[in-house]
Structure formats: structure tokens, C-alpha cells
Amino acid sequence: MRAWRRPPALLLLLACVLLAASFGAPHVDLERSIYRYVLVFDISQSMNVADVSAGDTPLTRLEFAKQRAQEALKSLPCGSEVGLALFTGHRAFLMMTPIELCANFSELSGMVTRVDWRMTWEERSEIAKGVFRSLELLRGFKDSTRLVFLTDGHEAPPINPDVKPAFAGKVGAVKGVLVGVGGARPVPIPKLDAEGKQHGDWKAEDVMQVDSFRADENQREGRGAAAGTEHLSSLKEDYLRGLAKETGLDYLRLDSSAGFMRALTAPAMGIPRHQATDIRWLFALTALLCLCLSLLRVTSKDAPASSSRA
């Protein structure tokens, strides 16, 4: 048998062919999950309550939400797309349509850093309407996008239980997660000026304790302002759970970074996409096996290795 036709030589030849073929960019089409979100930050005043903490330092709800979002930006895989929006009043204001995370990391991270309650354009916080309209906004996007809405669930003014805002969209058409931020105990909401300095807290008589319809009714009939605890704020978990159920979203209470990441990368949050997946590694691995096999092959047992001739 000629030297090049012996099995070890053929194995080496095969390895060379495989390595050469890897330059033809071999790939297979696989279905993969990619992530595309719009993060909506509630910037209404109740988010200034400092009743959450990361480690030992107390943080306001907004700071805590921003911090967790920053950590998520660092942990999400490259290729994920992130957009940002602000919520106050009755709607979200989109600041950035989703863009690739890694290439634009410093821009996205900088934008999250600058999110501030002072960007507000309305001193109301109608969360149900905000969530519904955000879902409508995302439904209009060309590519399917998941909603991540960070809020404490504090409606201001309160909702009239008889005429709740109703979700008119298709349940589950846009998936996503409502993220609850805040503590369970009702605490006062700080009154801040434009420089961020605190001037006491919001008092019971400063805020609407009932919805505007009932407030008007009370005034007409001379009943005086209703008493209530709307000037105190806590995380309204049951309310947000209800909203999530009504709209087909998930609910998560914002706590650890790992928990937030798990919610963001849950199977339902992934967007399936056919993607050309590189399989050069498979070619190279086979070439590597060929090389190893060619080394392992021993043709003659009686000759010690050191005396062989090349």
C-alpha cells in the first residue's frame, strides 16, 4: 500500500479537507430566542418614596428600578435589543426604539442613568391607562417587542371602582412583565422641588382621595372632601397582579437582580427567530478527532517508539 493511502494519512487528509471547508462558512438554520424589550419607567411622584433598598442603603423606588435595569443591561446577551420609555400621566413617552444592546451600551446605560422624575409632563399617574396604551404602542411596532413596565401601581387620582378603565386590546397580543417596585407598608410621599430638595410630605388634604367624578359629586352635595389614605403609598401588588391578568402580562415583584434577569429571560419573553448558526466548530471538532485517531493508530507492536523513522 502506498503511504498516502494508509488510514492515518487518509485521516489527516480528511482533517485538512474539513478545516478547509470551514472557510466556506458552514451554517445551519436554527430557531433561537432573541430578546427585544421596551423598558418603561414610572416617573410619577410616588416613585420618589425611599422604601426599598439594595444591600443596606435605602433607595427610592425609581433609583432601585434604574439600578436593576442597569444590571440587566450588563447581563443580557449581545444581540438583545432594548428601548426605553417614561410613564407618567396616562401614557408612556417613548424615548428610544429598541436598539442593539452591546453596540449601544454606553448610550442606553447613560439614558437609564438620566431617567428622572423631573422629566414629568403631567402630575397624574393613571397606571392602568399607561399600561394599556404602552401595549398598544408596542403592538404597532414592526418587530414583536416585550413590555417591561416598572411601577409601584399607585393610581393617582384613585380609580372609581364602578368605571374602571377597561383593556380594549387583544389579551396576550403583546407579552411582557409588570414589575412591582416598592414596600408593602404605606408611607408618605415626599414633596420635592425642582432641585430635588424635599419640602415635607404630601398630606391627606393635598391629594385627591377619591376619583374626580365622586369628588365633584361630594362638592355638589356639600359633603366636603372625602377622607382617605391616598397620600400614603405602598406597592399595590394585588392591583398590579389584576392588571397583569387582564392584559395577559406576567407580574414580578422587583427584588434581586437574578430574579429580574430570570423574569426577563423567561421562555415567554424570548422571541423565536430563525438564525443562521455557525457550525465551523463541528467541522473543526471532527478534524481534531481525525488527528487524534491518526496518532492512536499503531501498526506494529514490537517496535519501540523512539526508534521509528519518519
User: Of residues 105-124, which lie at the interface with other proteins (CB under 8 A)?
Assistant: 106-108, 110-111, 114, 118-122
Task: Output 131-134 pairs: Cβ under 8 A, ≥24 positions apart.
Answer: 131/178, 131/243, 131/247, 131/249, 132/165, 132/167, 132/168, 132/169, 132/247, 133/90, 133/91, 133/92, 134/38, 134/40, 134/85, 134/87, 134/91, 134/92
Which stretch, 51-59, 78-86, 173-181, 206-214, contacts other proteins (CB under 8 A)?
78-86
Tell me if 73 sits within 8 A of 109, measured CB to CB: yes
Q: Does 140 bind other proteins (CB under 8 A)?
A: yes
Q: Say whether residue 98 binds other proteins (CB under 8 A).
A: yes
Minimum CB separation of residue 134 from other proteins in Å reads: 10
Q: How far is the CB of 3 from other proteins (least distance, A)?
A: 5
Q: How far apart are CB 194 and other proteins at their closest, in Å?
A: 9
User: Which ranges constitute the DSSP H helices of the chain?
Assistant: 7-21, 61-75, 105-114, 127-139, 212-220, 237-247, 257-264, 280-296
Interface with other proteins, residue 204, by CB under 8 A: no
- Shortest CA distance to 144 belongs to which of 176, 169, 178, 107? 176
User: Interface with other proteins by CB under 8 A: which range of 16-24, 56-64, 181-189, 229-237?
Assistant: 16-24
143 sits near other proteins (criterion: CB under 8 A)? no
193 in contact with other proteins (CB under 8 A): no
Determine contact, residues 145/174, Cβ cutoff 8 Å: yes
- Residue 210 to residue 271: CA distance in whole angstroms: 41
Residue 168 in contact with other proteins, rule: CB under 8 A = no
Nine cell digits for residue 1: 500500500
Identity of the residue, 43 or 179, whose beta carbon is nearer to other proteins in the bound complex: 43
Chain residues that interact with other proteins, rule: CB under 8 A: 1-4, 6, 8-9, 12-13, 15-16, 19-20, 22-23, 83, 85-86, 89, 91, 93-100, 102-104, 106-108, 110-111, 114, 118-122, 137, 140, 280-281, 284-285, 287-288, 291-292, 294-300, 302-310
